[in-house]
Amino acid sequence: MVKIVLTPDWFLSADVFIDFFSFFVVVIFSLLAIKNYKISKNKRFLYVGVGFLLISIAQLASLITKLILYYDIGPSEQIGQAIIASNIVNSVDVFYYAGFFFHRFLTLAGLFLIYRLPRKQKMLEDYFLIFYFILISALLSKEFYYIYHITSFVLISLIIRNYYEIYSKNRFYNTKILILAFSILALSQLIFIFSVIDILFVVGGLVELVSYLIFLFLILKILDHGKEKNKNRHNIRYVGNNSRKKSRN
Amino acid sequence: MLAIIQERNQGIKPTHLMYKANLSHNQMKLYLEKLIASGLIEKNETSKGTRIFITKKGREFLLNYIRMKNFEKTFGL
């Protein structure tokens, strides 16, 4: 039988947990961005929200596929049989490949949207990247699993560069945390490139989990900030104006 | 304005608010009307004269607004 996933057998449950946790974190980010859009009507919030939403759907696709693939029991078995019985797909393997394809495609699309967000003008590199997506979509298969991780790594590196530019202007601690989280996520993708080696798959998964833990910490920090009694007392001014920078002067 | 009003649990005098928010009388009057109409603040007569208080809805709005600004700044939106 062809091996569909590279996860070592003893790491299956942990792998599903990591997917579930990352799905949970990304959904919160998406909901937070969309809620902010409703308050401010600033479309840039909406784009961030949609970017994270695409990634969350991608994580969900991966999660469902893995649940059906790993655990042929209970509801997951029934879902799997129902899908095959309804002739949506004519073989189990095709279903698995379709699930993972959507995971990869939507993750890359979401990352692209987050990368593209701070740039107001359309540039040649955009067209290059869109073309690259189509190419990747065509090429992605079990033989070329690493192309997905290379592309993710490239996109996340571009996102890091964007946020570094933003950080160099605003010097906001949360942006630093965001850069850290994306940097660790990029590292996980780099490790996943070599995930044919069992231990590297496990290390990649754990590094990815750390990055999502930092994302969760950032969410909590953003949510908690409203309640925080900061030194300047005027929370709203503290956030709106660059008071960290001013306080040093 | 909401942030300044929220700081004062005992309410704030309109004149103090005007100075603290660095607004003209007309500007403040206009903003107060809008905030009262939105249910974010309320004007009460106390033994010490007219005081402006933030409402529960106002506190919630301010909290969400601070979170939004924080998110906005984090992502450089």
Query: CB-CB: which of A32, A117, A227 is closest to B71?
Result: A32
Q: Is B38 on the interface with A (CB under 8 A)?
A: no
The verdict on residue A205 lying in a domain is yes
- Closest-CA distance of chain A to residue B6, Å: 10
Q: Give the residue-averaged pLDDT of A72-89.
A: 56
Quick one: CA dihedral B29, B31, B33, B39, positive or negative? Answer: negative
Mean pLDDT of A58-78: 74
Q: Is A105 part of a structural domain of the chain?
A: yes
| Higher local confidence (pLDDT), A237 or A143 | A143
Question: Are B66 and A236 a contacting pair at CB < 8 A?
Answer: yes
Of A48-62, A225-239, B29-43, the poorest mean pLDDT is in A225-239
pLDDT at B41: 87
Is the CB of residue B69 less than 8 Å away from at least one CB of chain A? yes
> How would you class A52 by CB atoms within 10 Å of its CB: exposed for 0-12, middle for 13-18, buried for 19 or more?
buried
Chain A residues touching B21 at Cβ < 8 A:
none
Is a pLDDT exceeding 60 seen at residue A44?
yes
Task: Report chain A residues whose CB lies below 8 A from the CB of B75.
Answer: 48, 117, 163, 166, 175, 178
Of B7, B74, B77, the CB nearest to A222: B74
Determine, yes or no, domain membership for A3.
no
- Residues with Cβ within 8 Å of A39's Cβ and at least 6 positions away in sequence, in order, are B64, B65, B68
Interface mutation vs chain A, best among B22, B59, B70, B73, most A CBs within 10 Å:
B70
Which residues sit opposite B51 in a β-bridge? B44
CA distance A229 to chain B (A): 11
Residue A134 has pLDDT above 80, yes or no: no
Q: Is 0.90 topped by the overall pTM?
A: no
Residues A140-155 pLDDT 10s: 655 677 788 888 898 8
Q: A4 vs A99, which has greater pLDDT?
A: A99
Asked if the C-beta of B33 comes within 8 angstroms of chain A's C-beta atoms, the answer is no
pLDDT at A244 over 70: no
- Give the 3-state secondary structure of A194-220: CCCCHHHHHHHHHHHHHHHHHHHHHHH
Q: Is the pLDDT reported for residue B40 higher than 80?
A: yes
What stretch of H or E contains B42? strand B41-46
Q: What are phi and psi of A79, to 5 degrees?
A: -60, -45
Determine the average pLDDT of the residues in A49-71. 85
Residue A241, pLDDT score: 46
In angstroms, the CA A155 to CA A7 distance is 24
- A48 contacts in B (CB within 8 Å)? 75, 77
3-class SS of residue B7: helix
pLDDT beyond 60 at A72: yes
**A125 in any annotated domain:** yes
Domain assignment present for residue A2? The answer is: no
Dihedral angle of Cα A19, A5, A210, A133, to the nearest 10 degrees: -80
Domain interval for residue A153: 9-248
pLDDT per residue over A176-208, tens digit each? 999 999 999 999 999 988 887 888 888 999 999
- The whole-number pLDDT of residue A249 equals 35
Number of structural domains, chain A?
1
Q: What is the mean pLDDT of residues B14-24?
A: 85
More confident call, B45 vs A123: B45
Residue A139: its pLDDT value, please?
Answer: 64
| Stronger pLDDT, A44 or A84, i.e. the higher one | A44
Residue A56 neighbours by CB under 8 Å, 6+ apart: A23, A26, A27, A30
Per-residue pLDDT tens over the stretch A208-236: 999 999 999 999 988 886 555 444 444 45
Are the CB atoms for A163 and A178 separated by under 8 Å? yes
CB contact under 8 A, B76 and A39: no
Q: What is the pLDDT of residue A206?
A: 92
Pick the residue from chain B with its C-alpha nearest to A118: B77
For the residues A82-90, what does the mean pLDDT come to?
55
Between A88 and A195, whose confidence is greater?
A195
- Return the percentage of chain A with pLDDT > 70, whole number: 69
**Residues A215 and A181 sit within 8 Å (Cβ to Cβ):** yes
Give the residue, A64 or A88, on which the prediction is more confident. A64
Contact A44 B77 (CB under 8 A): yes
- A226 to chain B: which residues are within 8 Å by CB? 62-64, 66-67, 70
Domains with residue ranges and CATH for chain B: 2-75 (1.10.10.10)
Find the mean pLDDT for residues A64-85.
Answer: 65
Q: How much is the ipTM here?
A: 0.74
Concatenated DSSP letters of chain A: --------GGGHHHHHHHHHHHHHHHHHHHHHHHHHHHHH--HHHHHHHHHHHHHHHHHHHHHHHHHHHH--SHHHHHHHHHHHHTTS-SSHHHHHHHHHHHHHHHHHHHHHHHHHTT--S--HHHHHHHHHHHHHHHH-SGGGHHHHHHHHHHHHHHHHHHHHHHHHHH--HHHHHHHHHHHHHHHHHHHHTTTTSHHHHHHHHHHHHHHHHHHHHHHHHHHHHTT---TTS-HHHHHHTTHHHHHH-
The confidence score (pLDDT) of residue A147 equals 80
The percentage of residues in chain B with a pLDDT greater than 90, rounded to a whole number, is 0
Instruction: Give whole-number Cα distances, A193 to A10, A72, A96, A190, A197, in Å.
Output: 20, 28, 20, 5, 10
Does residue A80 form part of some domain? yes
Q: What is the CATH number of the domain that holds A118?
A: 1.20.1070
To test the contact with chain A by mutation, choose from B9, B17, B54, B74 the residue with the greatest count of A C-beta atoms within 10 A, namely B74
* Residue A46 placed within a domain: yes
